[in-house]
Structures are given as C-alpha cells and as structure tokens.
Amino acid sequence: GAVVSQHPSRVICKSGTSVKIECRSLDFQATTMFWYRQFPKKSLMLMATSNEGSKATYEQGVEKDKFLINHASLTLSTLTVTSAHPEDSSFYICSAPKSTGMTEAFFGQGTRLTVV
C-alpha cells in the first residue's frame, strides 16, 4: 500500500543551526502534504499545508520564516527549521492525503527534534 516516509526519525542539533526534515510519498504522487507538530501528551497541531510548485499555506501563529517548507516535486516535501532554539524541540509529522479531497491520509513516522 501507499507509504509516506519521513527522514530523519530523530535529530539533535545545536541552538542556532538549521535542520531539514524530508517527507516522501513512496508509491503515489502527493500534490499536497501537511506538516504537524506534536508536543508530549498533546494532540497534533497543523502547522502548514505544502503545495507542489507553489508556496505553502501556514496556519495562524506559525512563522513561515522559521519553518521553511519546500514542495519541489510530486513526491517530496521538506520542512526546514531555521535557527533552531530549544523551544522548537518537538515531534514533527508529515502526511499526504490518499487522494485530493480525501480525509484518509497517510502519515510519516515522525521526526523527534531535540535542540540543545
């Protein structure tokens, strides 16, 4: 079946550095992908909608210059956390809908980011 692969699964970085997280749809094309953030024991919070070939749409309160999203192909979206700080430490998850308009989505394995 369709799979969404996210990489890396864990990353530790120093404050002030940038970290790139990749989200790939392995056997289907995803014109749209979603990026979520999840704090411990909390629900997923939608950060942004990544659109292939165009600018991402960010949710209210999410800094677009802080969380750079690029969706350069139909199978790859990347999230770059720029100038990371300890408060950016979180679990980041991407997803792609099964097809446009479907509420059934495939999720990546998630990336645990720790900023020290």
Partner 1 sequence: LAKTTQPISMDSYEGQEVNITCSHNNIATNDYITWYQQFPSQGPRFIIQGYKTKVTNEVASLFIPADRKSSTLSLPRVSLSDTAVYYCLVGTNSGYSTLTFGKGTMLLVSP
Binding site for partner 1 (CB under 8 A): 4, 6, 32, 34, 36, 43-46, 49, 91, 93-95, 97, 100-110, 112
Q: How far apart are CA 20 and CA 70, in angstroms?
A: 10
Task: Supply 53's token pair.
Answer: 């070939």
**Closer residue to partner 1 (CB): 82 or 91:** 91
In the bound complex, what is the minimum distance in angstroms from residue 34's beta carbon to partner 1? 6
**Closer residue to partner 1 (CB): 92 or 115:** 92
In the bound complex, what is the minimum distance in angstroms from residue 16's beta carbon to partner 1? 26
How much of the chain is in helix, strand and coil states, percent to nearest 5? 5, 55, 45
In the bound complex, what is the minimum distance in angstroms from residue 53's beta carbon to partner 1? 15
CA 89 from centroid of its chain's CA atoms: 14
**Closer residue to partner 1 (CB): 108 or 115:** 108
Select from 93, 86, 74, 116 the least CA-distant residue to 9.
93
